[in-house]
């Protein structure tokens, strides 16, 4: 995380999108407890007020910034307010998302477009706003909240998975541009596992039963700690949870096998035993009514590990070292065999 100068010590300013619920809300509170000023961007004004109250109760300064991240002008205005209120923006966390649980054949172009505008273009808009305010001082950190689904897509969430893949491509492109420019601005991506957030309670659902996470579920605070770590250390990527590691490595090694496995298991695996209802909350085009905080309805099943994350760069170093040891061993064996 960028550090203030000795001459001008001040709390770091962090802006979080999607801050009113789910991981964004948990991350906002984590930054507040870390002593940061927190600008909170989200659509729902009431939940935004609640998130703001949590930040203030943690002893930090908060700023509620009502905005829909699909609106680039609204994101710009929010960034202006945060910079004017706190003096600068040191960290920007892109976390807002929208999804639809549905086979592609049952989705409308408008639904697909909306998921893309929020989950992908929202990150583009946030990144542009952050860069505009970080470039004058040539410092700052942008955290892209990604997912294991940015490496391995699953059925029934084609729009969301497509957006997560797009974020990774966009981020890699920007990372190279920053290197070319000799910029000290850092950009990092945190690939998340399934988290116990209201995503599964208020996303549009066209399945016959209520949505549930696929695979191991972690509490949003696990993800929040990873976001905080990424903001401080800025690894190129951070993979959170054993299930993320398994999904990404599986996609790299046996993609065809995973296609067949997910085709058989991932439809029923994303549906609970509870039937879906037409009156269930739906936040696709407007905020959903109801009390939604950081947690969803899977507290009984979610893991709250103190720390579960892998820096893939370190993983590659370990793999390279292991390969080197193996090759050295083979060389020694062959050398002795010739004697």
Distance (Å, whole) CA 23 – CA 2: 22
Q: What's the token pair of residue 184?
A: 């000290």
Beta bridge partners of 195: 218
Q: Does 160 qualify as catalytic in the annotation?
A: yes
Which among 120, 123, 160, 229 is annotated as catalytic? 160
Distance (Å, whole) CA 267 – CA 154: 9
Annotated active-site positions, please? 160
């Amino acid at each position: 995380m960028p550090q203030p100068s000795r001459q001008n010590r001040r709390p770091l300013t962090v802006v979080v999108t999607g801050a009113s619920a789910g991981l964004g809300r948990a991350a906002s509170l984590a930054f507040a407890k870390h002593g940061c000023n927190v600008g909170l961007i989200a659509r729902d004004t009431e939940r935004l007020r609640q998130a703001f109250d949590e930040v203030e109760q943690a002893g930090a300064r908060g700023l509620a910034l009502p905005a829909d991240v699909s609106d680039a002008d609204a994101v710009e205005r929010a960034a202006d307010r945060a910079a004017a209120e706190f003096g600068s923006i040191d960290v920007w966390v892109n976390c807002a998302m929208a999804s639809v649980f549905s086979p592609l054949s049952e989705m409308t172009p408008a639904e697909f477009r909306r998921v893309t505008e929020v989950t992908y273009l929202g990150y583009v808009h946030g990144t542009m706003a952050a860069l505009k305010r970080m470039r004058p001082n040539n410092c700052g950190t942008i955290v892209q909240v990604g997912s294991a689904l940015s490496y391995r897509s699953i059925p029934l969430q084609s729009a969301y998975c497509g957006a997560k893949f797009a974020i990774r491509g966009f981020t890699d492109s920007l990372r190279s541009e920053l290197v070319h420019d000799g910029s000290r601005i850092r950009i990092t991506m945190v690939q998340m596992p399934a988290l116990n957030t209201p995503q599964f309670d208020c996303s549009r659902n066209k399945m016959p039963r209520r949505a549930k996470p696929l695979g191991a579920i972690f509490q949003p605070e696990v993800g929040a700690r990873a976001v905080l770590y990424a903001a401080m250390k800025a690894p190129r990527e951070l993979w959170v949870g054993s299930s993320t590691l398994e999904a990404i490595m599986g996609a790299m090694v046996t993609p065809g096998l995973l296609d067949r496995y997910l085709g058989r298991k991932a439809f029923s695996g994303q549906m609970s035993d509870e039937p879906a209802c037409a009156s269930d909350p739906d936040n696709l085009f407007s905020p959903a009514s109801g009390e939604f905080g950081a947690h969803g309805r899977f507290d009984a099943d979610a893991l709250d590990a103190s720390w579960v994350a892998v820096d893939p760069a370190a993983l590659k170093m370990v793999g390279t070292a292991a390969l080197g040891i193996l090759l050295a061993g083979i060389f020694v064996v062959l050398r002795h065999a010739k004697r």
